[in-house]
Amino acid sequence: MLRECFVGFIDILSQRRASQSVSAVLPIAFVLIALPALFADMPDANADTDAKYVYTNITGPELQRLIQKWGYRAELDTDSTGDPKINSAVAGANFSIYFYGCDDQTPKRCDSISFSAAFDLDNGLTAGYINEWNRTKRFGNAWIDDEGDPFLNMQVNIDGGIAEEGIRQNLDWWEIGMSGYLEYIGW
């Protein structure tokens, strides 16, 4: 559309030039030169604006929408304290995302989340075995309960700001960590 307007102005300019002096055509020429620059930094109407939005806190429905947009199952629930919780799965195993630092708004806005997965094994693991995981892996903190059943957690801070792509990358790292952990614990 901008191109059609520009071409139209050129037609008007050429008609005026034939019948008027240069001083009468100069203001139109200035507009023709400045007009493209005025529209150069305008966002594309079809661009995904969420990708540029920086979250300093997040609600359960916002995170659920993002996770579903990326093709994952995301069932919104609440935990035992009434804070949001999302149930999902990666690498063939279920996990939950717990929300922390939540306010009292509806829906609650929270400043951090924690990915968490628990596994009930017939034969529990030892602390030494789990410590080896923690010593060699950056993403996904492992621990065992009193029966030796393994857990995996990963904290994500939202407070201070994180863009949609940052959230997506954390989910990707969680999936990579979960895949490796499932193999490590023999799930």
* Other Cβ atoms closer than 10 A to 63: 22
Q: Determine the Cα–Cα distance for residues 117 and 94; give it in Å rounded to an integer.
A: 7
Share of the chain above pLDDT 70, in %: 73
Residues of the chain with pLDDT under 50: 1-7, 9-10, 12-13, 16-17, 22, 25-26, 28-47
* Contacts of residue 161, Cβ cutoff 8 Å, sequence gap at least 6: 54, 55, 56
Is the bond into 107 cis (omega within 30 degrees of 0)?
A: yes
Q: What is the pTM of this model?
A: 0.73
Q: Determine the Cα–Cα distance for residues 71 and 174; give it in Å rounded to an integer.
A: 15
Closest Cα partner for 72 from 58, 59, 88? 88
Assign domain 49-185 to its CATH architecture: 2-Layer Sandwich (3.30)
What pLDDT was estimated at residue 57? 97
What pLDDT was estimated at residue 52? 82
Contact indicator for 25, 12 with CB cutoff of 8 Å? no
Contact indicator for 113, 86 with CB cutoff of 8 Å? no
Q: Determine the Cα–Cα distance for residues 129 and 148; give it in Å rounded to an integer.
A: 10
What pLDDT was estimated at residue 29? 46
184: left (phi over 0), alpha (psi -120 to 50) or beta: alpha
DSSP H helices, the chain, are: 2-19, 22-39, 60-69, 127-136, 164-185
In the chain, what are the domain boundaries? Answer: 2-39, 49-185
Closest Cα partner for 69 from 56, 85, 88, 55? 88
What pLDDT was estimated at residue 30? 44
What is the chain's mean pLDDT, rounded?
Answer: 83
Closest Cα partner for 118 from 151, 161, 157? 151
pLDDT digits (tens, 9 = 90+) for 77-127: 999 999 999 999 999 999 999 999 999 999 999 999 999 999 999 999 999
What pLDDT was estimated at residue 41? 38
Cα–Cα–Cα angle for 105, 110, 112, rounded to 5 degrees: 175
Residue located via tokens 């008027």: 20
